[in-house]
Homo-oligomer: A and B are copies of this chain.
Amino acid sequence: MTVLPISKIEAPARGRRTQDSRARLLVAARKLFVERGYHATRPQDISREAGLGHGTFYLHFADKQACFLAFTEDARSELDSYLQRRLKDAPDVESAVRGSLEAIHEYSAAHPGVLVTAMADAAVIAADDAHPVTLVDRWAMQWAALLRLPVGQGGQAMDPDEAGIIGAAVVGIIHEGSAYAGRHGKAPGPTIDLLTRLIIKALT
């Protein structure tokens, strides 16, 4: 049996305090960005929520926008692992689509408001200056990649030129469809079924 040296277990010391602070700031940032939105959240609020001094915020993020982008990136990669888990065994596109929707629903249930906040405010942030690759773009491209899988048994690959637009359209279906369902209190199960059907039909 291997015994880890104490330093590995208990004495993070060097550079660990830093990591810890950053993590706490990101947790706090997520909470506040989701609750209040980007513009109504002040760096100072994030620091206080994290139990740290105001200055510490700027030790970890160049500015408020960088913090928001880090939050956004975190959300994206978390969602990605939810998706990964569901997609790795999907036998066909339909299962992949359904799996994706289920993953997204699962993630949204576990982290309410995060996706909506990340997408909505990202648009506003992006408008400020040239942040060329938006969150939606990345997701659209992932869908495009997924859709190069043949659809149906004798299916053919997508025209690569159209794939991006189709990917974006799928993102749109999911985003607006889920948001609408959420706003109007529709049950998630039937909504997932419905959106899956819509996407599959659109792709056939």
What separation, in Å, do the CA atoms of A58 and B177 have in the docked complex?
A: 37
The segment from A17-25, A72-80, A90-98, A179-187 that touches chain B is A179-187
Contacts of A194 in B (CB 8 A): 162, 165-166
Within 8 A of B (CB), among A37-93: 37-40
The answer, among B162, B164, B171, B180, for a CB contact under 8 Å with A136, is B180
Within 8 A of B (CB), among A104-148: 120-121, 123-124, 127-128, 134, 136-137, 140
Contacts of A177 in B (CB 8 A): 165-166, 168-169, 172
The answer, among B37, B161, B173, for a CB contact under 8 Å with A173, is B173
Report, nearest first, the 8 A-B pairs whose CB atoms are least far apart: A172-B172, A172-B176, A168-B180, A202-B202, A169-B177, A120-B123, A37-B127, A169-B173
Binding site for B on A (CB under 8 A): 37-40, 120-121, 123-124, 127-128, 134, 136-137, 140, 161-162, 164-169, 171-177, 179-181, 183-184, 186, 190-191, 194-195, 198-199, 201-204
